[in-house]
Chains A and B, each alone.
Chain A
């Protein structure tokens, strides 16, 4: 069994179609992306004892549930991706996907036990810690594998994988709601059984991905593809290992690029429903529809923008994200002033598509600058910026809009200052992006596999 999981056993034989790898990647990413739809459990989990209503002092509260599941899970995602990235590169995608499936689905099962015992620490250990480790492993393994299979279209490849993660909420949220409705009884909220069924289904899907995934044989290249032997403007033909990448300014600039892009987008996403209601006075049902629409654009943007970057270059596409995003953020208050819901929806959908595009394009950008040898490990370290942004963005929007409302600003205009600040954050991201240059040759790996102090020939 162990050998079946080894990297050597996953090397693709001649004649293997690389198009089997994207569905493997999507299968895993779609499952771990379920965390995006976890909010559907928030209210039911606060009624585990009261069933129809929350019992103060006995039932959990929403902030406790969110902290122990969603927030802790995302923090563990960043940490496990950062610290286990090199292990992922060494052991290969199949073993990583299997470990990810065991952690993520095992975490769901432990979380079910936590609900059964009504123990918040057990819930946090299950979904937050164990599940979070599975999340991190499942996020980076498919991406680095796809980058190696599609050297001719790395943007499209990473877009496909990360689109899968974006689709996690589209599938996971309604699936969870259906299951909770089915298992709900007068004595139970149905979350425990839902977690167990989801764990079983996700485990099967993730194992399917692990079963069909392969790594390319050494020296393999797509038919008709001539690998660049000389480095282009921002695309290197050299390799930089993860530890060495940390010594380059490019790593920190890309960390800043991702952090700014995600902070701005996540701020809108986390407050989309109340923002829509406050600014335009629409009903909660309509605002819920707006959130669903944003999820679709978030997913589609991941594939389209990242694929487009194969033709424009990564630096150019990020410049579009930041410049266009800045302009669109500044236009949102205008759409409120003229009372155009359609314009507001259009602007935010484009913004969110670029937010998703930013996530999906970063692995290809890393591959361009640092090569493919440890791109998964480097990606794992860069996405710690996501954890930072996940705290910054929502806090900025929530705190500033609450402050404005408390100081007498009409609800419909309470978000304007925040939106202008988000536009400013995007300009900071633009500066980081413009400062990105080729990696200094002294960081390149030499033939013997160690960093080359003299710089490489290419």
Chain B
């Protein structure tokens, strides 16, 4: 009986973790303004626009 090597499992996870990690890094970087920007004074903007091109608008 040939057992699957733990290295194969680790490599398989690495293949999907690399793009996932990159995407996560980019999203965290995009969310930073939320924590660094202070609230703008009222009134609210008249015409809200969607997020910047890099921000995924998920559904």
Contact = CB atoms under 8 A, between A and B. Distances in A.
A43 interface: yes
A214 to B, nearest CB: 10
A174 B52 CA distance: 11
Interface residues of A, number: 66
A282 B24 CA distance: 23
Given A277-B44, A285-B33, A288-B30, A173 B56 contact: yes
Nearest to B11: A23
A232 interface: no
Given A15-B1, A281-B40, A283-B37, A288 B51 contact: yes
Contacts of B8: 17, 20
B38 to A, nearest CB: 9
B48 to A, nearest CB: 4
B39 A280 contact: yes
- Interface size range of chain B in the complex: 35 or more
Contacts of B27: 170, 174, 292-293, 295-296
Nearest to A262: B59
B37 A287 contact: no
A187 B5 CA distance: 51
A216 B52 CA distance: 44
Contacts of A172: 23, 56
B19 A171 contact: yes
Contact of A287 (B9, B13, B48, B59): B48
A290 B34 contact: yes
Interface stretch (A33-41, A101-109, A144-152, A245-253): A33-41
Given A169-B58, A170-B24, A292-B56, A283 B31 contact: no
18 contacts: A26-B20, A30-B16, A40-B56, A167-B24, A170-B20, A170-B24, A170-B26, A170-B56, A174-B27, A266-B59, A274-B50, A284-B52, A288-B50, A288-B52, A289-B31, A290-B34, A339-B39, A345-B34
Interface of B: 1-4, 6, 8-9, 12-13, 15-16, 19-20, 22-24, 26-28, 30-35, 37, 39-45, 48-59
Given A284-B45, A292-B56, A345-B34, 8 more contacts: A22-B13, A277-B44, A277-B49, A281-B39, A287-B48, A288-B30, A288-B50, A292-B30
